[in-house]
Amino acid sequence: MAETTATEALGHGTESRRGFLTMLTGAASAVAAGAIVWPLIDALNPDAQSEASARMIVDAADIAENTAKTVQWAGLPIYIRKLTAKQIADAQAVMTSTLPDPAEFTERVPAGYQNYVVVVGLNTGTPCALEGNDPADPRGDYDGWLCPCDGSMYDPLGRVRSGPAKTNLAIPRFKFINAAQLQFG
């Protein structure tokens, strides 16, 4: 009984040979169709130019202490700020539980590069570009950023300290690829 089944499975009957050929043709057709269609689908992925700008690399070495540089990424103004030793000490001394939107120092700065703060430079209350990137700009009472539209104030880590705004500045997706460059996306 077992022998008969094995013989049939080997393809001596016309039925199984036809089945095998059908399967072979179907498989070859599926592979061919896939190979033809794949470039068409792949071409609809973001092109090289969009991909490059979505994973933009920014030079951070030219930022002076106590100033921030503005770059545009994903349609947003991004502020990259280099902190002074005093700002770091002040920020670490703050009792986070007293803040409107509590966040630890380490949550606001990139690991290993704790003298940099990278935030989306839009006020979280009324959406306005914040002032305070240049030391000469009005910075509010906390030496951070000031919203010219509704008067919300932020500290150098981008934590909201006063004003109509209730949440901290958003932090974009990024990482330092070396001491001088960071990459978004």
Partner 1 sequence: MTMELKHSWAGERMPWLGGLCACLFAPVFKPGSKYLDTLPGLIAVALAFLTFSGVVLAVYYDPWHAFASVQFIDRDVHNGWLVHAYHATGTTALFGLLYLYLFRAMVTRGYRAPGELVWALGVKLLAVLLLVGWLGFVLTGGAAAYWSLFKASNGALALSGAPGAIGNWFFGGTAGGNALARLEVFHALLALAALVVVGVLFSARGAVAPKAEPGKGVAFFPYYLSQYLVALAVFALIFSVLAFFAPHFGQPRVNALPADPLTLPVAVALPWYLLPLAGVAGALPGIWGGILGVVGALAVLAALPWLDRSGPSGPKGGLYGFLTWVLALDVVGLGVSCSPLLTGLFTLWYFFHFLVLTPVVTAMEAK
Closest CB to partner 1 among 45 and 98?
Answer: 45
Nearer to partner 1, 37 or 180 (CB): 37
CA nearest neighbour of 101 among 45, 27, 183, 163: 163
Cβ neighbour number for residue 168 with a 10 Å cutoff: 22
Q: How far apart are CA 136 and CA 127, in angstroms?
A: 23
CB of 115: closest distance to partner 1 in angstroms? Answer: 37
x/- map, 6-45, partner 1, by CB under 8 A: ----------------x--x---x--x---xxxxx-xxxx
Cα–chain-centroid distance for residue 124?
18
Place of tokens 């500045």: 169
Q: Which of 2, 3, 6, 47 binds partner 1 (CB under 8 A)?
A: 47
The residue within the footprint of partner 1, chosen from 4, 5, 49, 97 (CB under 8 A), is: 49
CB of 91 to partner 1, least distance (A): 43
Shorter beta-carbon distance to partner 1: residue 25 or 178: 25
Q: State which residue, 57 or 89, has the beta carbon closest to partner 1.
A: 57
Instruction: Spell out the residues 6+ positions from residue 121 whose beta carbon is closer than 8 angstroms to its own.
Output: 70, 76, 77, 78, 79, 129, 130, 133, 145, 169
20 vs 38, beta carbon nearer partner 1: 38
- For residue 115, what are the contacts with CB-CB under 8 A and spacing of at least 6? 82, 83, 88, 109
Please, what is the minimum distance in Å from the beta carbon of residue 14 to partner 1?
Answer: 14
By the rule CB under 8 A, 85 interacts with partner 1: no
Q: How far is the CB of 41 from partner 1 (least distance, A)?
A: 9
Residue 108 near residue 117 (C-beta atoms within 8 A) = yes
- The counts of H helices and E strands in the chain are 5, 9
- Residue ranges binding partner 1 (CB under 8 A): 22, 25, 29, 32, 36-40, 42-45, 47-49
